[in-house]
Structure 1
Amino acid sequence: MALCVNPRETYCRLTWEGDDYYMAKALVGTVLEGKDVTITEEMTGSDLKGMAYEPLYHFAQPKEKAWYVVADDYVTMTDGTGIVHIAPAFGEDDYRVGQANNLPVVQMVNLEGKFKPEVTPWAGRFVKEADGDIIRDLKASGKLFSSGRIKHTYPFCWRCDSPLLYYARHSWFIRTTAIKDEIIANNKKINWYPEHIRDGRFGNFLENMIDWAISRDRYWGTPLPIWKCHCGHQILIGSKEELKKRALKKFDEIELHKPYVDEVEIACDKCGDLMKRVPEVIDCWFDSGAMHTAQWHYPFENVEKFKSQFPADFICEAVDQTRGWFYSLLVTSTFLHKAPAYKNVVVLGLICDKNGIKMSKSKGNVLDCMQLFDKYGADAVRWFLYSSTAPWNTRRFFEDGIAEAQSRFLGTLQNVYSFFVMYANTENFDPKQHTMPLAQRTELDRWIVSRFNRVVGDVRTAMDAFEVTRATAAMETFVDELSNWYVRRSRRRFWGSIADAESLSAFVTLWEVLVGFSRLVAPFTPFIAESIYQNLVARIDAKAPRSVHLCDYPVVETAQLDEMLERRMGFVMRVVQLGRAARNEDNLKVRQPLAEMKVVAPEAADRAALEAMQAIVMEELNVKAVTMLSDGGALTNYIIKPNFRTIGKGPYKAFIPKIKAHLEAASGNDVHKAIAAGGYAFEIDGNPVTLKTEDVEVCTQAAGELAVQTEGTLTVALDKKLTRPLILEGLARELVNKIQFMRKDAGLDVQDRIRAAWYVADEAKRADIVEMLLNHGDYICQETLAVSLQALTDPTAGSEWNCNGIMVRVEISKEQTQ
C-alpha cells in the first residue's frame, strides 16, 4: 500500500543502463557493486514523502489513498535499498506505519493462508508456495531488478514448524494502556524470585505494554459476553442472572460456553429488534488470569472467603509466563481490585537436555518421564529437579544426573532406614514401650537430635524465602552426617541389646530422627517419606495421622538445640576430614594404624573440644595418640613466592627481581609468621618494603615424615613412621576387611557366626601372618563373628586376597547352630 523511507537518511536518483532508480545513497555500493552508475540527484527521505508510484499489481482497488511514499525511523541502512514495501495487514511495523499515515488495510489472503480470488494468477494457492511463480512473473514483465535468498529471522509454529504469517484481523481489546501506571506500580509490590525479573524482563514488558486483544475465533470456549443488534447497538452482560432476566426465551440452567450460549437472544434497547451474541470467545489467558476472583464466584458469593484468600501468597510458573499468566493475573487484578493478585512469584527456568539445548520432540532430546519413574522412582526425578540448581536457573535434565541424585541422597536415606529396620526387628524395638529422655542419652545422640532441629530451622527459613535448593542442600548435608557419622559411629550400639542403656539410646534416637525427617522431606520426596512413616509410625500407632502428608510440618524444638555440642562435634568432624585427606594424599589406608596425629588449632575452644572428643578422633583416623598444638611452625615448612600480578601494580614494581631473591634466601616460616601478624617488612637498596597477604603466594611442605593437611587456621599432621606392632595391627585389620567382604558376598545375616581358615604359600610371609594372629587373633574373631580361625588343610580352597602385599587364601563357612 506504500513505500517507506527513513526521513533522516540521504537518498539519491541514479541512472544505470538507461533506467532511473531511487535508493539510499549508503547502499548504492552494495546493491550496484561494480556497476557504472551516475547519481543525478540527492535528497533526504523526508523530501520523498508523498511521492506517488506505480504498484507492481492492481489486484486491490482501495477507496483510501495508497501507493505513495511515507517515512519512518524503523527503516535501516543495513541491507536492501533503504526503501521498504508497506503491507499494513502483514506486519507489526507495517500496521503501525499504516495507521500513522491512514493507509488502507487490504487483506488479499484468507484465514487458510491462501490468496483470495482477487489475486487471479494465484488464487487458492498457499502464499509461501507461490513465491517462485511470483518471481518468475515479475521477471517476465521486466519488473524484477534481482532475486536471491536472504537469511533472516522468521516465525514458525512451535508445534509443527510450519511457517507463520503476520495477519491483521478485527479484534476486541481491553485498553490496558489506560491503567499502565497502576499495573507497573502494583508490580513493584510483588516479591520476585529472582528479583531481577521484576524490573528486568517483566518490568520491560510492562513498560512496552500494548492493549490486550482478548477475542479469539474458536468453535468452543468462554463467550465474549457482548450482544449486538443490526442497528449497531451493543451491550455487555455482567452476570448469569442478568442474562436470565434479559433472555427472550426463559431458562433455568444453560451451558454458558460457545456454541450453546449463542442460542440466547435478547431485545435491543434501541430498536426493539433481536440482539445476538458476537461470535468471538475470550482469550484463554483471560480465563486463567481471572482465577483469583472467578474461583470464588466473587462478588456474587464467598465474599469473606475471597477477602481472606486474596491476594495469593505465591504463584509459580516458567519464565515464559512473563508474557502469559503472570501478566494476565496482574492486569485483571489491577482493573478489578486495584491490587496485585499475588504477593510472591517464583519464576522457573526452562528445562534443557544435558547439552543445554531446549527439549523438543522434533529434536529427539525429550526424556520419557514415565520411563524415568519406572527406572529411578518419581522421588529421584523430583529431588534432582529441586537440588540441581535454583528454580529460576535454566536446568539441564539428564538421566545420569537423576541416577546420581538417587544414589547421593535417596540411596543414603534408604540405607539408613533399612539399617534401622533390620536391627529394630532383631531387637523387637517398640517406640511406644522403649523410650528414654533426651538428657539421659549419649552425647552423640544429643548431637544428631540437635542437628536435626537445626536442619528443620534451616529448611523452614529457606522455604519461607522460596529457596528450595538451599533447603535440599541442608537436608543432603544432614543425611550424609546421619549416615557417615552418626550411624557409622553408632553401629556397635545397634549390635547390642536394647536392655543396654547405650543401645536403647541409639534405637530411640534414630527412630525419632527418621520419623521427623520423613515429615521434613515429605513435600520433596513424598513416596519414600510415606514408606518410612507407614512402617515406623502408622503401622504401630492407630491414633497417629494416617499419612505423613496429614502430619504437621516439623518445627524447631529449641530445648533440643545444643549449639556448643554442634560446634564441638563439627570441629572434630573437620579434623577427621582433614586427617582422611592427609591419609589419601600419602596413600595411607585408614585400616593401617599410625602412632600419632598432631593438630594445630589456635582457638582454645577448639583445642578443648578436641581434648573432650579425643577418643573419637583416634578411632576414626586409627591413630594411637593425638597431640594438640597452638602453633604449627614445626610441622610445616613454608615456601613464600612473590605474587607478580599484585606487586607489579604497586609501588614495588621495580624491585620484583630483588624481592624474589630476598624471599628465596629468607626463612619461609618467619616470613609467613610476619605476614600473618600484619606484614613482612624489609629493605631493598635502602628502600622500605612491606609485603601483605595479597603480595605473596604461599606453598607448604611437610616437615620430616609427616602427612600434612591445612584448612584455614586448622592443620593436621600424621606421623607416617610404621613400627612392627603397627604393621601387624594393620595386617589384622586388612584380613578383617577381606573376611567381612566374603560374609557379605555369601549372603550371611549380620548375626550369623562363621568358621574361618587361612593359608599362605610363601613361608617367609606365613611367619608374618602367624605373628599377627598371635597378637590379634581374638580381635579378628570378634569383628567377624568367627568361632574359630585355623590353618587351611586344603591350600586350594577358599579365595585368595592381597593383604598388604601378602597373598592370603581364606575360606569361611557358616557355623551350624543346634
Structure 2
Amino acid sequence: MSKKFREYKGLNLTKVAEETLEAWEAAHIFEKSITTRDENKPFVFFEGPPSANGLPGIHHVMARAIKDIFCRYKTLQGFQVKRKAGWDTHGLPIELGVEKELGITKEDIGKKITVEQYNEACKKAVMRYTDVWEDLTHRMGHWVDMHDPYVTYKPKYMETVWWLLAQLYKKGLIYKGYTIQPYSPKAGTGLSSHELNQPGTYQDVTDTTVVAQFKAVKNTLPDFLQEVDGDIYFLAWTTTPWTLPSNTALTVGKKIDYVVVKSFNQYTFKPINVILAKNLVEKQFSKKFFAVEKETQLLEYKENDKKIPYFIVKEFKGVDFLESKYEQLMPYTLPYQNPENAFRVIAGDFVTTEDGTGIVHTAPTFGADDAMVAKKAKPEVPPMLVLDDNGNPVPLVNLQGKFIKQMKEYAGKYVKNEYYVDEPAPERSLDVEIAIQLKEENKAFHVEKYRHSYPHCWRTDKPILYYPLDSWFIKVTDKRDRMFELNKTINWKPKSTGEGRFGNWLKNANDWNLSRSRYWGIPLPIWRTEDGTEEIMIGSVEELKTEMQKSVEAGLMKADIFADFEVGNMSEENYDKIDLHKNVVDSITLVSPLGQPMKRELDLIDVWFDSGSMPYAQWHYPFENKALIDEK
C-alpha cells in the first residue's frame, strides 16, 4: 500500500490539494488522460464558458466540479474526453456593466462616445478577470484546456456563426417581420421567447387595473340596443392602463352570451347601461352592488347609498353587436392611417369569460393577439401609430418606455415606475394617474389593485413591454415538430427536466427573434437595398471580400477594408488583421445584382445564437477542423 498511497501525519487539506496538483502537473496527467485514450472512442464534452468581466463565485465552483465529475468518469470508462475552454464575451451583462462604468446609457452611444470606443471598452472589460478565472480553474483541479480557448469575439468564431446563419438563410429559415415582441426598455433590445422562459422571469407583481367604460355610438348599435334608455357603455378590463390611449378596437366572442346591465357608476354616481359577458356579471357587480328584480327599484337609489342596485335589461350574443362603434376613450391623437376604421367592436377566438368582462380592450401596437385580430378584421383595424418629426410611424410609447409628445400632460413619463433609475419615481404611477382621470371623466367602472404574474427582463430585472419591432426571425415553427421528436431521444436526467418544462416549451416554440438592437455582439450579416427588394447574406470573410471588390468596381467603395487579409491563410496572425464587429462592418456598402447600394441591417444577433454555435464555432468549422465534425 505504501507504494501507491501517501500517508499523512496530520490532515491539511490545502497542502494535500497543492501536492496533488504539483504531482498531476509534473507527470502531465491531464494531457495523458487524453492521449492514452483511443481517439476513435470520443466522449464529446462542450464547455459552457464563463464571462470574465465578473469574478467567479461559489456557484461557478459547484458547476465546474459537477462537469469535471462526468468528464473524469467517462475517461475512466476508456473514452477520450477533450475539453476545450472558452470565454463568453458578448451580450447584455458586458454592455450594461460597461455603460455603468462609463456613466452612460445606450442612447449616449454614437453621441457622447463612438461605437468603436464603446466596443473597445467592452472588449477590455470582458477579459478583465481571466487571470482570476484561470487561477481558480487550476486550484480546484478542473481539467480543461486553457491554453487554446475559443473566444466568442474573435473573427474565427464569428465567421463560423456567419456561416451557420447563411446555411439557415439558404434553406429559407430566416425572414424579416414586423411583429409585436417582448422588449426590454432598460436593456434597449427585443427578447426572444426562450429568454422569457428563463427561471425567475415571471414575477408576481401588484398593478393598478381598470374596467373602463367605452361609450357606444348609439346609432351604430343594433335596433334592440338602441331601444335602451340612456347612454350605453362597453366594459373592458385591463391590467395595463397605460395601453388605453392606444386602444383602437374592442374584441368579443361571437358565441358568448352578453347582457345590458342598468346601474350607476360607483365614482360619479351617474346612471349607466353597460354591456359585458353574462357569466361575469356577478364578478363585476360584487362588493358595492346588489341585484334587483324590477327596473323600477333603481329609482330608489341615492348618491351616498352604501350599496348600488343593478338590473339586467337584455341578453344577446356577441355576434349581434359586431361592428358597433364607440367613442375613443382617451382622444389624445388618432392613428395616422385609416382612423375611420378604428374604435369598433370586432370578433376574436381568444376571448373567454374566465376573467374581466368578456370584452377585450384591444391595442394592436402593444399585444400580439391584439395585432393579429385587428389585422384579420374587415376592414383592418389600424394600430395607434402616429408620425414622428421625421415622418416615421411610431407608437405612443418610445423605446425608452416613455409616452411621446402627443400624450400632452403625460409626455416624457415612464409607463412603469420601475423604469425610473436616475431620478426618483413619482408617488403615483402612470397607471394610477390614468385611472384617476378615467374616474373623473365617468369612464372607469371599477379600479382596483390586482396581483398577477408579469414577465421581466432576465438581465435588468425590469418589466418588459410588448412592443412593435422590425426584426429578423429564424423559422423555428418549420422545424419544431422534428426538434420535439428528437428531444425524446435524449437521455435526460432526470427525465422530467427534458420532457417537462423544456419539452413543453419546445412543443410550443415560436419563431426565434434573432435581432438585437445593441452594439457589442455579432452583427447580422445581411446587406439590403433601401427598398428591401434585394439582399445578400454573407457566410464568410472570403465571400465578404468578393462582394467588397464588386462594390469597389461599381464605385460604391473606395477600397476593400480587409485588403491585408489573405484568403485561405488560417493563421491567427492573418485573422487578427480583421474585425467583424458592428463599428467595422457597418462602414461596408455592397452592390446589388441590379446595381443598387446595399447597407447592412443594423441589428446584432441574439447572444444565445452565439452560444448555440459553439460546437462548430470553437473549431472554426467548416473553414478548419472539418474532420472533427464530419467524420464523427
- Shorter-chain TM band: 0.3 to 0.5
TM-score by length of 2: 0.46
More helix by share: 1
Structure with the larger RCO, 1 or 2 (CA within 8 Å, 6+ apart) = 2
TM-score by length of 1: 0.36
